[in-house]
């Protein structure tokens, strides 16, 4: 449900080599979901995305989704009309991403899109399936450099340095600083980028069509073991 999510290609990345997986730019955490039973540490600098993960990892998340998320909605329904009760802010942010599918608003819409209405029940079922499985995960809010340097699998998926990265709400990345930080990590490091990015030696992983039907080439950089 997030722009830049890796749900369709996460399986193409190397498998983790350590019991801990760390995602310094959490987003949708598609890679971690493949290995959800490991020790997962997420970090997020976007307060709206952080609030969603904070909600999903809360003890009340399952009950709130089950009770307050209806089984169906109609295109044009508003967020306010669907959720009249005072619920967790992270839950409302999550619902914004659900109703915005296919609208190009990336979680800012207040009305249900056609695709959002079609996918609604599937989204609810997925949430109820995943929430109990990820309760042991941890989420932190702040700059990626504040994370301890654990001997872990680091799955690093920052806003891209190409024009695709400009869509993110937080895209002011100093890639020279990020490069030095990446090279200082202990364990096994996986970095995602457009294959044409120059700040590391990226190799082609796969090609895919973006939301605007343009073809992009996903790049990958790895180090350590």
Per-residue pLDDT tens digits for 108-133: 778 999 999 999 999 999 999 999 99
Q: What is the pLDDT of residue 51?
A: 96
- pLDDT for the residue numbered 168: 46
Q: What is the pTM of this model?
A: 0.89
pLDDT of 167 reads 47
Q: Where are the domains of the chain?
A: 10-52+136-224, 60-133
Class of domain 10-52+136-224: alpha beta
Q: Is the dihedral of CA 71, 73, 79, 83 positive or negative?
A: negative
Residue with tokens 């009770």, as numbered in its chain:
67
Query: From CA 184, how far away is CA 118, in angstroms rounded?
Result: 45
Structure tokens at 61: 């998340």
Res 22: pLDDT: 98
How high is the pLDDT of residue 49? 94
Half-sphere exposure of 224 (CA within 13 A, CB side): 19
Classify residue 210 as exposed, middle or buried by CB count within 10 Å of its CB (0-12, 13-18, 19+): exposed
Q: Which of 21, 17, 2 is nearest to 134 (CA)?
A: 21
Residues of the chain with pLDDT under 70: 1-5, 86, 102-107, 162-171, 209-215
Count of Cβ atoms closer than 10 Å to residue 63 Cβ: 11
Structure tokens given for 225: 């073991």
Backbone angles phi, psi at 181, to 5 degrees: -65, -45
């Amino acid at each position: 449900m997030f722009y830049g999510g890796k749900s369709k290609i996460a399986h193409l990345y190397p498998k983790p080599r350590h019991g801990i997986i760390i995602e310094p730019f959490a987003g949708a955490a598609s890679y971690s979901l493949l290995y959800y039973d490991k020790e997962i540490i997420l970090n997020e600098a976007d307060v709206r995305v952080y609030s969603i993960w904070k909600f999903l990892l809360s003890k009340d998340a399952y009950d709130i989704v089950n009770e307050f998320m209806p089984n169906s909605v109609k295109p044009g329904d508003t967020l306010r009309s669907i959720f009249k009760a005072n619920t967790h802010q992270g839950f409302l942010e999550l619902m914004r991403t659900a109703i915005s599918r296919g609208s190009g608003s990336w979680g800012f819409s207040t009305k249900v899109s056609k695709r959002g209405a079609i996918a609604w029940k599937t989204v609810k079922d997925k949430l109820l399936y995943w929430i109990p499985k990820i309760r042991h995960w941890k989420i932190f809010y702040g700059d990626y450099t504040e994370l301890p340097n654990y001997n872990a699998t680091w799955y690093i998926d920052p806003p891209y340095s190409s024009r695709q990265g400009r869509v993110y709400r937080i895209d002011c990345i100093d890639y020279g600083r990020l490069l030095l930080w990446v090279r200082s990590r202990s364990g096994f490091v996986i970095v995602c980028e457009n294959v044409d990015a120059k700040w590391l030696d990226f190799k082609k992983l796969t090609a895919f069509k973006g939301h605007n039907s343009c073809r992009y080439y996903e790049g990958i950089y790895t180090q350590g073991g």
